[in-house]
Amino acid sequence: MEEERLAVLRMLQEGKITVEEAAALLEALAEGSSPSKDAPVEPGPAGGPGNKVEEKLRQVKGLARTGVIEENVLSAVENVLRTVSERIDETFDSAWEGGPGIFALWPHKRVERTFTGNFSAAGEVSINLEIKNGRISLVPWDHEGFQVRAVGFVRGHQSHQAEAEFERLIGYTAGPGSLKIEATNMRAIVALSLEISLPRRLTYRISAETTNGSITTGEFTCSEIFLESTNGTVRAERTSGEKLGIETTNGSISATTISSDVSCKTVNGTVNVKVPAAISGKYRLETTNGGIRVNLPRDADLGVSLETETHFGPIRIEYPDMNITKEYRNIGNHEMKAVSRGYETASRKLDLDLETAHGSIVVS
């Protein structure tokens, strides 16, 4: 049944079906997987699953056009996408706990290496990470030096050969003010997990990129941080600094940040951003097939400006003292602009540009 659900989501991503049709198909699949024992079996083509789905599509389309169930349908689709994103992460994460997981598909040897060092240069430290088929975790700690724990699955080697091959291909280099890891040869390294502990007291410029895995960062002060994944979620916890950029496909984005310049973009995933303290800046959040949630601090010195747009999705502004300056509705399209009371004279101004297709927007 899970394969059928994923097939529906793929058709939605490729534009072969609409969000209403996807929601109806998912609902029909759910009903088909757990039929009531008391339900009568309808004979003949009229009671077949194909006609059942078609009838459900007609019902959903009619109600969606009138907006009666728009929010419920989109909420269901968002929940499904979030669940699929979490399961992708769980599938890859299970391999790092010692079990073969998905890597049993290939003959492999599990290799683990730890690298340590110190940053001695004055000023910010540059962190550059690029891997494939793996996860990246950046953790702040109170030690003076850094530590890199790398766990890899090396294809088709004896243990001693696998260790030598892993060290050769890991692409690890470190300097007085930099750390770089590049491991993109997936013919040899089937998968890779990086857990990097960095001194909390330093300021960083971070670039991290992976495919088929998640990225997680802890509480760091950064002049700039850019995180990119394909088929994985991205989580940035309490980052501060000038610029934060996050991109992913088939994964959700979660960020708690007081950066002044924030850009988050995903396809088939939700975007959740929390701003814990008042700050001046511009935030651009965008997704396709997913919702956007923004949580802002209640601060009299903060002025908020909103420019929001959804295609097949509701907009809810729950932040207090917001004045709607422009609103436009059409079939499947909803645009809204709003500013907070006293925006022009506020000492800090935060401008939000939010856009989604097939999802909702909530600002609270």
Position 146 confidence tier, pLDDT thresholds 50, 70, 90:
very high
> 241-283 pLDDT, tens per residue?
899 999 999 899 999 999 999 999 999 899 999 999 999 999 9
Its pTM stands at 0.76
For residue range 339-364, list pLDDT tens digits in order.
999 999 999 999 999 999 988 999 99
Instruction: Spell out the residues 6+ positions from residue 314 whose beta carbon is closer than 8 angstroms to its own.
Output: 70, 71, 74, 334, 360, 361
Residue 123 exposed, middle or buried by CB count within 10 Å (0-12, 13-18, 19+): exposed
Give the pLDDT band of residue 158 (cuts 50, 70, 90): low
CB < 8 Å & 24+ apart, contacts of 257-266: 259/222, 259/225, 266/290
Burial class (CB in 10 A: 0-12, 13-18, 19+), 115: middle
Radius of gyration of the chain (CA): 24
- Is residue 58 pLDDT above 80, yes or no? no
Kindly tell me if the per-residue pLDDT of 174 is higher than 90: yes
How far apart CA 294 and CA 275 sit, in angstroms, is 8
SS3 category, 130: strand
- Is the pLDDT score of 116 beyond 80? yes
DSSP letter at 321 equals T
Q: Where are the domains of the chain?
A: 2-95, 106-213, 223-364
pLDDT digits (tens, 9 = 90+) for 270-323: 999 999 999 999 999 999 989 999 999 999 899 999 999 998 888 999 999 999
Q: Please choose, from the candidates 242, 209, 214, the residue with its C-alpha nearest in 3D space to the C-alpha of residue 227.
A: 209
- Among all chains, which residue has been given the structure tokens 């949630």? 293
